[in-house]
Structure 1
């Protein structure tokens, strides 16, 4: 059976750490693919229009 695991973080390093932790528990033969995405928005409620980032990934694997 195919499964997905979703990850989301505000910082790249946090996302990387979460994914690496998950992958240590997943046997290589079960891994299929990773899809990665970055989204950006501007917080107009702050004085300097702060940029907000969301880093996300989806891992597809066999259960």
Structure 2
């Protein structure tokens, strides 16, 4: 069965850390794909908000 795990963080290091924790429990051959995205919002540099997100698609 194909499943997904979604991650969404304001800081890229938080995203990296949480994904690595999850991937410790997934065997390499179970991973189907990993999607990654960065989004920003705000009107100027002082109010810039970042969203780092990823989706791991895996087979269980």
Shift of 1:20: 0.4
Query: Cα RMSD over matched residues?
Result: 1.5
TM-score, with structure 2 as normaliser: 0.91
User: What residue ranges of structure 2 are gaps of 5+ in the alignment?
Assistant: none
Please report the TM-score for the alignment, with normalisation by the length of structure 1.
0.87
Number of residue pairs matched? 60
Unaligned runs of 5+ in 1: none
Q: Which runs of 4+ in 1 moved over 6 A?
A: none
More helix by share: 2
